[in-house]
């Protein structure tokens, strides 16, 4: 049997059960047999019933438990609840952390192709003050200059050097070594997965790159990092200005690297909507997630878009270890 695909059902107060069901209906049988969902068995049953979805579930006790049917296999995590779409934050947080830990441990196994985690509200990880990208990196004992958030589709990828931090802290966080290490991780991954040298654009931090003033981050940090990366043979251009690159010039590159989260994610999503997946580079396994949030405002409306989750599953099916 081919390697297994783990799907972490994610935040219980979300559209995740809807997009899991809709995606499941579109998958072929050979992929269905490889999928294991990490969630609470009873919770998914209740959510599907509320949504009026008819789907056969099977609770499995062991990850390597194989069968020849096409039931949705659930690795059960304990959760007590009353309303299946209104789990109190404390319970949901404890539940999500257990799910993440199990997903991480299973993803490390040789029989696993990769991990998909559906959307998780960051307030469920608020004690850690990090997102899922950083949580899984910490579980893998990665330094924070080793993990990379890459948002990609078949037209473009974008990656922020800093991820889930406040705007006022970005300048303090930026370091020459941080930029170098993250770009090297991107280049290594492109060569490993796609057998190609990536064409990389790197943006400055300030409007108009601060006119390249001597005291700017561009002159002190970003340009020295670019020069070092060029000496390493990496195909990199910059620093480019962020207010124009997404008009048309983005088409010249495989990857655009920005200095902070919304500098690259906001224009990317404006261009491509849900046509993207979120990949964490640097882990010992392939981890992807849909490029959207929990969308609590859409719960029960049966209008959630499955595009990104299907792309995640298909990506692991194609590129999984």
DSSP secondary structure string for all residues of 240-296: EPTTTTTTTGGGG-SEEEESSHHHHHHHHHHHHTT--EEEEETSSS-EEEESS---G
Dump strand ranges (E) for 78-141: 112-117
Q: Do 6 and 64 belong to one domain?
A: yes
Q: What was the pLDDT predicted at 211?
A: 85
Q: Do 223 and 253 belong to one domain?
A: yes
Q: Do 190 and 138 belong to one domain?
A: no
> What are the residues facing 76 on neighbouring strands?
39
Q: Do 78 and 159 belong to one domain?
A: no
**CA 102, 71, 110: angle at the middle one, nearest 5?**
40
pLDDT in tens, the chain (321 residues): 589 999 999 999 999 999 999 999 999 998 999 999 999 999 999 999 999 999 999 998 877 666 666 789 999 999 999 999 999 999 999 999 999 999 999 999 999 999 999 999 888 886 655 778 778 888 877 765 668 999 999 999 999 999 888 999 999 999 999 999 999 999 999 999 999 999 999 999 999 988 889 899 999 999 999 999 999 999 999 999 999 999 999 999 999 999 999 999 999 999 998 889 999 998 889 999 998 889 999 988 899 999 999 999 999 999 887
**Cα distances (Å, whole numbers) of residue 237 to 62, 252, 256:** 49, 11, 10
Q: What was the pLDDT predicted at 125?
A: 81
Q: Do 219 and 289 belong to one domain?
A: no
Q: What was the pLDDT predicted at 254?
A: 98
* Total Cβ atoms within 10 A of residue 126: 11
Q: What was the pLDDT predicted at 188?
A: 94
Q: Do 25 and 99 belong to one domain?
A: yes
**In CATH, what number is assigned to the domain containing residue 218?**
3.40.718.10
List, in order, residues 6 or more apart from 282 with CB less than 8 Å away.
Answer: 137, 140, 142, 146, 147, 148, 185
Q: Do 159 and 107 belong to one domain?
A: no
Beta strands 277-281 and 287-290, pairing class = antiparallel
Domains identified in the chain, total number = 2
Helix (H) or strand (E) holding 31: helix 29-32
Q: Do 178 and 115 belong to one domain?
A: no
What is the residue whose two structure tokens read 């004690």? 127
**Domain range for 296:** 1-142+283-321
Q: Do 148 and 107 belong to one domain?
A: no
Q: Do 3 and 21 belong to one domain?
A: yes
Classify 112 as helix, strand or coil: strand
Q: What was the pLDDT predicted at 35?
A: 94
Q: What was the pLDDT predicted at 144?
A: 58
φ/ψ of residue 118, rounded to 5:
-70, 170
Q: What was the pLDDT predicted at 273?
A: 87
Helix (H) or strand (E) holding 35: strand 35-39
Is the distance from CB of 318 to CB of 286 less than 8 angstroms? Answer: no
DSSP state of 175: -
Q: Do 164 and 87 belong to one domain?
A: no
């Amino acid at each position: 049997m081919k390697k297994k695909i783990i799907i972490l059902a994610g935040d219980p107060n979300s559209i995740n059960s809807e997009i899991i069901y809709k995606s499941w209906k579109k998958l072929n049988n050979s992929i269905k047999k490889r999928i294991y969902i990490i969630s609470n068995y009873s919770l998914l049953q209740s959510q599907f019933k509320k949504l009026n979805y008819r789907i056969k579930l099977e609770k499995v006790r062991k990850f390597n438990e194989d069968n020849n049917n096409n039931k949705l296999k659930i690795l059960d995590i304990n959760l007590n609840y009353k309303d299946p779409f209104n789990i109190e934050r404390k319970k949901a947080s404890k539940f999500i952390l257990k799910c993440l830990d199990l997903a991480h441990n299973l993803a490390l196994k040789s029989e696993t192709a990769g991990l998909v985690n559906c959307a998780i509200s960051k307030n469920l990880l608020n004690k850690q003050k990090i997102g899922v990208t950083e949580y899984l990196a910490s579980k893998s004992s990665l330094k924070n200059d080793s993990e990379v958030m890459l948002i990609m589709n078949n037209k473009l990828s974008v990656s922020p050097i800093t991820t889930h931090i406040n705007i006022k802290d970005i300048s303090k966080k930026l370091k020459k070594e941080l930029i170098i290490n993250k770009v090297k991780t991107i280049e290594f991954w492109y060569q490993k997965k796609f057998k190609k040298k990536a064409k990389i654009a790197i943006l400055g931090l300030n409007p108009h790159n601060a006119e390249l003033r001597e005291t700017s981050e561009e002159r002190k940090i970003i340009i020295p990092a670019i020069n070092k990366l060029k000496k390493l043979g990496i195909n990199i251009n910059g620093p480019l200005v962020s207010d124009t690159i997404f008009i048309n010039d983005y088409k010249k590159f495989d990857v655009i690297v920005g200095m902070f989260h919304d500098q690259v994610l906001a224009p990317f999503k404006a261009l491509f909507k849900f046509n993207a997946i979120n990949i964490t580079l640097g882990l010992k396994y392939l981890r992807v997630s849909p490029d959207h949030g929990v969308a609590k405002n859409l719960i029960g409306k049966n209008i959630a878009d499955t595009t990104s989750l299907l792309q995640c599953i298909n990506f692991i099916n194609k590129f999984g270890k």
